[in-house]
Amino acid sequence: MSLGKILLMDDDALIVTVLLKALSNNGYQVHTVAESKNLLSKMRAWSPDVLLLDINMPGKNGLELLEEIKQEDIDTEVVMLTADDTAETAIKAMKLGAGDYLTKPFDIDEVVIVIGNTIKNRTLKHEVDYYRKICAPIFEKELIGQTEPVKNLRNEISRIAEAGVSTVLITGENGTGKEVTARYLHRLRYGGCASGHAPFVAVNCAALPETILESELFGYEKGSFTDAKSDKEGLFEAACGGSILLDEIGEMKLDLQSKLLRVLEEKTIRRIGGNKEIPLDATVIATTNRNLAEMVAEGSFRMDLFYRLNGFALQTIPLREIKEDIPLLAEYFLSIISQKYNKKNVKRFSPAAEASMKAYDWPGNIRELKNAIERIVVLEQAEIITPEHLPFRQGGSNSLLTAGDVEGVCYFILPEGGISLDDLEKNLIWQAMQKANQNKAQAAKLLGISYNAIRWQVKKFGLVG
């Protein structure tokens, strides 16, 4: 088994021969590239762990090639070979993204050690990325807050989870953490990390037309309608042993509401076109930002379903009522979002920014706070966040450009302190990516640029995509 794949590029045939032999003898699989025009395609095709790249070569030199490699999404560590023993070239190479460098003439032991360390670092980097990825959803499920209302909410959730209640209603304004509450309940109910084994199925009742929602929830038997080419398990079944989140239950049509009521009362489901009763062993969590009692009075929500759901009800709290938690939440988002975007220097809030955040009413609640911080992490350069960086404070020197419209011609109003075109570009790219849900093709369309252009821009500005 090879210890790793090494690609080698140097115009000095003697060095190539010596390294090829030495590294192969030490257990590495080694390939070489002779011409710079073939380098990128070889790297893409073979995915080496390490590229040993000479700096001084005729034609394109190693630093130029390194720059090209770093522009592409190629996951290979680069170790530069340099004949120049001044630190300057090496520093330049490291700045461009090289992992290490070797100064000629080198002895073979040194090469083997540097390659070994580079591969070790690369493996560690992959591990960190992996754990970051699997930890991200754990962070997202955290229900942060130290004020009394949030502590009470957490206590209520624990009691409901311990009691093993099977139907729970969560109400609250937009962005107050209804889904976070549902996931927190699920985790307590089905046990910490092990909850990875208990399914959590989320369904947005507002997102699908009624008939599709019904077949998604209940599943169907082959032949029960034209498109039912085979049996299909529904989401209720998929949630067995765990939880199903019926998000925006207030948007469910009356007809489906009665079918849901039947499920909750009888704890069984029947697939469309089927006659077998399948036991439903799942916690059903419904959420809404609507006032269901009012909907009952208006006749748009079934009273019996309302009472069935409302037996165990949790209410999430508007952010303006727990302002003392704002600094804690803000710090938390700052840290997880900096991690998400791989920002090494986590910013800090100035006392004035904190005061300003506490003074604001946050109509979009915790989601609005999180989005505001995401915008600052991505777009602002400053280390210390001041009130001017906060999106709700109008007129700050860094505030977003506002669009104007004169006689049908759209234009942007330059802010007081001016703005660099680079910042403007970054800002628009970020907004397009947000709007397009991180889908580069869609974002490119919004900006009228090519897919390759947006890929390059996202990379250039260090936006996650």
- Torsion (CA) 185, 190, 192, 193 in degrees, nearest 10: -120
Stretch that binds ligand ATP, among 161-169, 177-185, 386-394, 434-442 (CB under 6 A): 177-185
- What's phi and psi for 22, nearest 5 deg? -65, -45
**Closer of 30 and 372 to ligand ATP (Cβ):** 372
Stretch that binds Mg ion, among 21-29, 137-145, 178-186, 334-342 (CB under 5 A): 178-186
Number of residues located near ligand ATP, criterion CB under 6 A: 18
Integer Cα distance of 88 and 164 in angstroms: 66
Out of 49, 77, 173, 179, the only residue in the binding site for Mg ion (CB under 5 A) is 179
The CA-atom distances, in angstroms, between 102 and each of 17, 53, 86, 125, 319 are: 17, 10, 12, 21, 55
The CA-atom distances, in angstroms, between 284 and each of 14, 219, 411 are: 70, 17, 50
**85 binding ligand ATP? (CB under 6 A):** no
The CA-atom distances, in angstroms, between 314 and each of 163, 169, 307 are: 15, 6, 14
Under rule CB under 6 A, which residues in 3-22 are in contact with ligand ATP? none
- Choose the contact partner of 289 out of ligand ATP, Mg ion, none; CB within 5 to 8 A by kind: ligand ATP
Q: Are 400 and 429 in contact (CB under 8 A)?
A: no
DSSP secondary structure, 231-291, as one string: -EE-HHHHTTTSEEEEETGGGS-HHHHHHHHHHHHHSEE--BT--PPEE--SEEEEEESS-
- Choose the contact partner of 258 out of ligand ATP, Mg ion, none; CB within 5 to 8 A by kind: none
Under rule CB under 6 A, which residues in 354-383 are in contact with ligand ATP? 366-367, 370
Binding-residue pattern over the window 301 to 340 for ligand ATP, x denoting contact by CB under 6 A: ---------------x------------------------
**214 binding Mg ion? (CB under 5 A):** no
Could you tell me where the DSSP H helices lie in 75-203?
A: 87-95, 108-140, 148-163, 178-190
Out of 127, 142, 148, 321, the only residue in the binding site for ligand ATP (CB under 6 A) is 142
Bridge partner residues of 203 (DSSP): 246
Q: Specify the pairing of strand 402-406 against strand 409-413.
A: antiparallel
79: three-class secondary structure by DSSP: strand
**186 binding ligand ATP? (CB under 6 A):** no
Supply the Cα-derived Rg of the chain in whole angstroms. 29
- Choose the contact partner of 214 out of Mg ion, ligand ATP, none; CB within 5 to 8 A by kind: none
- Choose the contact partner of 144 out of ligand ATP, Mg ion, none; CB within 5 to 8 A by kind: ligand ATP
**250 binding ligand ATP? (CB under 6 A):** no
Token pair 């300003």 is found at: 356
**Closer of 49 and 179 to Mg ion (Cβ):** 179
**Closer of 216 and 248 to ligand ATP (Cβ):** 248
**Closer of 10 and 179 to Mg ion (Cβ):** 179
**173 binding Mg ion? (CB under 5 A):** no
CB of 251 to Mg ion, least distance (A): 12
Integer Cα distance of 347 and 334 in angstroms: 7
CB of 333 to ligand ATP, least distance (A): 7
- What's phi and psi for 358, nearest 5 deg? -70, -30
Out of 143, 202, 264, 401, the only residue in the binding site for ligand ATP (CB under 6 A) is 143
CB of 179 to ligand ATP, least distance (A): 3
**End-to-end Cα spacing for the chain:** 35
Stretch that binds ligand ATP, among 96-104, 110-118, 173-181, 270-278 (CB under 6 A): 173-181
- Choose the contact partner of 302 out of Mg ion, ligand ATP, none; CB within 5 to 8 A by kind: none
Q: Are 24 and 66 in contact (CB under 8 A)?
A: no
- Interface positions with Mg ion (CB under 5 A): 178-179
Binding region for ligand ATP (CB under 6 A): 140, 142-145, 172, 174-180, 289, 316, 366-367, 370
